[in-house]
Structure 1
Amino acid sequence: MATNSTPKKPAADAAAEESVEAVTDTAPARPARTAAPDPDVVGPPLPLNVEPVTVTLVHHHTVDGTDYPPGSMLFVSPEYAQRLRGQGYATQV
């Protein structure tokens, strides 16, 4: 029969080491959100020779980490405006 020559750690020391490890692990920081900037085109870039359209948001929406509350008016590309309206984020004109 084989015997283990490695001494066992007392249970109190093992629990203390585990609790220290648990405290030192931290979740990654969430990036800070910024307030809505001056009216610029948001979302996907505009194709050449296409004018942006204005949409009014019905629901809270976040684009590229920027929060836009309901009632915000955004300049977006026509295709993006259609997607926002279809998904219920913008008012129907």
Structure 2
Amino acid sequence: MATNPTTKKPAADTAKESVEAVTETDPALPARTAAPDPDVVGPPLPLNVEPVTVTLVHHHTIDGSDYPPGAKLLVSPDYARRLRGQGYATQV
């Protein structure tokens, strides 16, 4: 029969460790910001390309900013096509 070579710690030490573990805090996540004023969001626009306005149908987070359903965003045409394809923006 196999034996376990490790020894158990006394109960007092375990309680002290569990209290210490609870008092430690996890590093804070970066705070999300509110949606900024209308500006081009997402990937940058290529040269000589006009932004396209899209209306979101689902909640979406872009670059750490939250956008609720119904938000109108200026995005690059390629990004608008991807948002529509994934169901985040209305099909126009």
Q: TM-score, normalised by structure 1?
A: 0.83
Structure 2 spans left out of the alignment, 5+ residues: 1-6
Q: Kindly state the Cα deviation for residue 23 of structure 1 after the two structures are TM-superposed.
A: 1.7
The 5-angstrom pairing of residues 69-80 of structure 1 reads: 69-80=68-79
The 5-angstrom pairing of residues 2-81 of structure 1 reads: 11-81=10-80
Q: For 1:62, what is the secondary structure of its paired residue?
A: strand
Map of 2:3 onto structure 1:
none
Q: For 1:74, what is the secondary structure of its paired residue?
A: strand
Task: State how far apart, in whole Å, the 1-side matches of 2:15 and 2:90 are.
Answer: 57
Bigger mean CA deviation after superposition, 18-27 or 69-78: 18-27
Letter in 2 for 1:58: V
Q: Kindly state the Cα deviation for residue 19 of structure 1 after the two structures are TM-superposed.
A: 1.8
Q: Kindly state the Cα deviation for residue 21 of structure 1 after the two structures are TM-superposed.
A: 2.6
Q: For 2:74, what is the secondary structure of its paired residue?
A: strand
Q: TM-score, normalised by structure 2?
A: 0.84
Q: Kindly state the Cα deviation for residue 51 of structure 1 after the two structures are TM-superposed.
A: 0.2
- Superposed CA deviations along residues 33-77 of structure 1, whole A, max 9, x for unmatched, are 111111000000000000000000000000011000000000000
Larger radius of gyration: 1
Computed over aligned residues only, the root mean square deviation of the Cα atoms, in angstroms, reads 1.9
- Percent identical among aligned pairs is 80
